[in-house]
């Protein structure tokens, strides 16, 4: 099944990781393997872009921008529509490749391709809605207006856990905005990036716009750092850890470039006394265990009212061991492997520290005795203030803590560094509204009776505080990919000055 899959996606055993108006490589480029985390088997190999190749990619992307920016936005939308249609044809195959490379289950792999398709559809509509305002001028016979212009060639850095969808959040929107895109994908999911690039670059070329979508997979030294320092790239959109984000913000900020940062999350679910517990248990399980806890939106903390705390912990403790763990491509499996050995070690180390700090593992947490990076999702009784609870461990660990008053629950929810997603299960309207009010959740995303993960693309996605403040995908996130120009037009014969200033010459 797997050999045919690579064929169908047009992938050979060694691929180049760089593409602009055509695929390019440098014989000196290091070749990396992409391994299936469920088996350890190598799926294929990809050659890194060297520094020279990176330079060539940026030159081409900057060159392609000149034509693309003058192409009417609805025409750009048409190219994106064709990309969406092409992705529809590859939904099953690309989804399976994502499953094999990242270990996420089939429906999530396909869901990710659906997310790309949704982003294409959204962006097609957007291509006719890049509206600017007309503003009343204080001066007679003057008109003021805002218009939005394309920014330039932009850099998009993505992580392994959403190796395709997050690229689409950025690239589909950026493309209709008139930007060209240079994608630096994660070296942990290089084949997905190459497969997506093949589809997308083919459509762009057929439409007469090669060089709009570009790929530059390479090392931190040859591609990552040069990209951050590259004055030709006015915007860098990066997804990854908070550590990565601090670095990106600093380096890009130093040259006054723009960033969109989507960094770590330490997301919590509050379960109030009035919650529908059946709903809550299902929502928590998906949020905490889905994608084996490797989403930035994963629920890592559970804040439960003391009156239902034992009941919720008990129900989760019974549900966890029934979750089918196994090969992510097999039907019925809900928990696939972690991405690599280091992730397994990080999980074990966090659980050890949790116990040292007074926590108690209720269920799970063991590595499975089989090849691949499989672990049992862990549920831990924890207390407010435990240092490990403040950390984002990219693995399925859920720390459950009791609370007494809703104010306390919200304070616990808000007391971590990150501010990505948050949720409350309650049937009490006042409590729900309080959670959503300015004195409620401090996160970019706040849900009621829904878990912390699985956002739709129509909303703006991103978070506050150490999550980086960026917004991607829906709503008016597009504005970050354009430059705003305020224009004042004088259609009279006088030259009145604003603020009543007089400057009479001659």
Q: How many of the other CB atoms lie within 10 Å of CB of 120? A: 27
Nearer to ligand UN1, 272 or 296 (CB): 296
Q: How far is the CB of 244 from ligand UN1 (least distance, A)?
A: 12
DSSP for 156-222, written as a single string: EE--SSSTTHHHHHHHHHHHHHT-EEEEE--TTSHHHHHHHHHHHHHHHHHTT-TTSEEEE-B-III
DSSP for 60-97, written as a single string: HHHHHHHHHTTS-HHHHHHHHHHHHHHHHHTHHHHHHH
Is residue 115 among the annotated active site residues? no
Nearer to ligand UN1, 117 or 482 (CB): 117
Per-residue string for binding with ligand UN1, 293-332, x by CB under 6 A? --xxx-----------------------------------
Stretch of residues binding ligand UN1 (CB under 6 A), selected from 39-47, 97-105, 118-126, 449-457 = 449-457
Q: How far is the CB of 295 from ligand UN1 (least distance, A)?
A: 4
DSSP state, residue 438: T
Distances (CA, A) of 77 to 86, 172, 175: 14, 9, 8
User: What is the helix (H) or strand (E) element at residue 123, kind and residue range?
Assistant: helix 106-126
Per-residue string for binding with ligand UN1, 160-199, x by CB under 6 A? -xx---x---------------------------------
Stretch of residues binding ligand UN1 (CB under 6 A), selected from 159-167, 219-227, 276-284, 362-370 = 159-167
What are the backbone dihedrals phi and psi of residue 402, each rounded to the nearest 5 degrees, phi first? Answer: -85, 155
Nearer to ligand UN1, 90 or 162 (CB): 162
Work out whether 422 is an interface residue with ligand UN1 (CB under 6 A): no
Q: How far is the CB of 413 from ligand UN1 (least distance, A)?
A: 18
Terminal Cα distance for the chain, rounded? 84
User: What is the helix (H) or strand (E) element at residue 267, kind and residue range?
Assistant: strand 267-271
CB-facing half-sphere around the CA of 292: CA atoms within 13 A = 33
Nearer to ligand UN1, 243 or 254 (CB): 243
Stretch of residues binding ligand UN1 (CB under 6 A), selected from 22-30, 32-40, 327-335, 447-455 = 447-455
Q: How far is the CB of 456 from ligand UN1 (least distance, A)?
A: 8
Phi-psi domain of 454 (left: phi exceeds 0; alpha: psi -120 through 50; beta: other): left
Q: How far is the CB of 151 from ligand UN1 (least distance, A)?
A: 23
Interface residue with ligand UN1 among 74, 132, 273, 454 (CB under 6 A) is 454
Interface residue with ligand UN1 among 453, 460, 470, 481 (CB under 6 A) is 453
DSSP for 456-494, written as a single string: -TTSEE--EETT-S--EESTTGGGGGEEEEEEEEE-SSS
Nearer to ligand UN1, 261 or 296 (CB): 296
User: What is the helix (H) or strand (E) element at residue 112, kind and residue range?
Assistant: helix 106-126
Q: Residue 387 CA to chain centroid, in angstroms?
A: 26
CB-facing half-sphere around the CA of 300: CA atoms within 13 A = 29
Per-residue string for binding with ligand UN1, 276-295, x by CB under 6 A? -------------------x
Q: How many of the other CB atoms lie within 10 Å of CB of 231? A: 8
Annotated active-site residue in 19, 177, 242, 296: 296
Is residue 177 among the annotated active site residues? no
Work out whether 239 is an interface residue with ligand UN1 (CB under 6 A): yes
Q: How many of the other CB atoms lie within 10 Å of CB of 25? A: 19
Work out whether 477 is an interface residue with ligand UN1 (CB under 6 A): no
Greatest Cα pair distance, the chain, in angstroms, is 90
Q: How far is the CB of 115 from ligand UN1 (least distance, A)?
A: 6
Distance in angstroms (rounded) separating the CA atoms of residues 291 and 102: 9
Annotated active-site residue in 56, 101, 262, 472: 262
Work out whether 209 is an interface residue with ligand UN1 (CB under 6 A): no
Work out whether 435 is an interface residue with ligand UN1 (CB under 6 A): no
Catalytic positions, please? 262, 296
Residues at the interface with ligand UN1 (CB under 6 A) = 161-162, 166, 239, 295-297, 453-455
């Amino acid at each position: 099944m797997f050999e045919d899959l690579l064929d169908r996606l047009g992938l050979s055993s060694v691929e180049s990781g760089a593409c602009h108006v055509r695929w390019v490589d440098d014989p000196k480029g290091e070749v990396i393997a992409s391994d299936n985390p469920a088996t350890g088997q190598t799926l294929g190999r990809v050659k890194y872009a060297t520094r020279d190749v990176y330079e060539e990619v940026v030159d081409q992307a900057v060159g392609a921008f000149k034509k693309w920016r003058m192409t009417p936005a609805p025409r750009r939308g048409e190219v994106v529509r064709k990309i969406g249609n092409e992705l529809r044809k590859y939904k099953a195959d690309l989804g399976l490749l994502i499953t094999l490379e990242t270990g996420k289950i089939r429906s999530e792999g396909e869901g990710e391709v659906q997310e790309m398709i949704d982003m294409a559809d959204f962006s097609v509509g957007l291509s006719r809605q890049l509206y600017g305002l007309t503003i009343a001028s204080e001066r007679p016979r003057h008109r003021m207006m805002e218009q939005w212009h394309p920014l330039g060639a932009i850099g998009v850095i993505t992580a392994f856990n959403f190796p395709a969808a997050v690229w689409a959040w950025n690239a589909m929107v950026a493309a209709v905005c008139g930007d060209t895109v240079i994608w630096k994908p994660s070296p942990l999911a290089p084949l997905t990036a190459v497969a997506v690039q093949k589809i997308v670059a083919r459509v762009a070329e057929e439409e007469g716009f090669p060089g709009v979508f570009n790929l530059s997979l390479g090392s931190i030294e040859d591609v990552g750092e040069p990209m951050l320092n590259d004055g030709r790239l006015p915007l860098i959109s990066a997804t990854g850890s908070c550590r990565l984000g601090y670095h990106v913000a600093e380096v890009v900020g130093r040259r006054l470039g723009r960033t969109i940062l989507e960094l770590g999350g330490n997301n919590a679910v509050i379960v109030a006394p009035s919650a529908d517990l059946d709903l809550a248990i299902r929502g928590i399980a998906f949020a905490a265990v889905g994608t084996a806890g490797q989403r930035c939106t994963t629920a890592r903390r559970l804040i439960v009212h003391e009156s239902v705390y034992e009941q919720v912990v008990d129900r989760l403790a019974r549900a966890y061991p029934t979750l089918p763990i196994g090969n992510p491509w097999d039907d019925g499996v809900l928990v696939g492997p972690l991405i690599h050995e280091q992730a397994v070690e990080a999980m074990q180390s966090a659980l050890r520290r949790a116990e040292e700090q007074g926590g108690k593992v209720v269920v799970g947490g063991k590595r499975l005795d089989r090849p691949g990076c499989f672990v049992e999702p862990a549920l831990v009784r924890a207390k407010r203030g435990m240092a490990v609870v403040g950390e984002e461990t990219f693995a399925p660990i859920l720390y459950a803590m009791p609370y007494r008053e809703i104010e306390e629950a919200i304070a616990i929810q808000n007391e971590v560094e990150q501010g990505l997603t948050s949720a409350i299960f309650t049937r009490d309207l006042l409590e729900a509204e309080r959670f959503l009010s300015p004195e409620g959740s401090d996160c970019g995303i706040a849900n009621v009776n829904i878990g912390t993960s699985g956002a739709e693309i129509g909303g703006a996605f991103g978070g506050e505080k150490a999550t980086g403040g960026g917004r991607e995908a829906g709503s008016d996130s597009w504005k970050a990919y354009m430059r705003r120009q305020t224009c004042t037009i004088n259609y009279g014969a006088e030259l009145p000055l604003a603020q009543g200033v007089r400057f009479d010459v001659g």
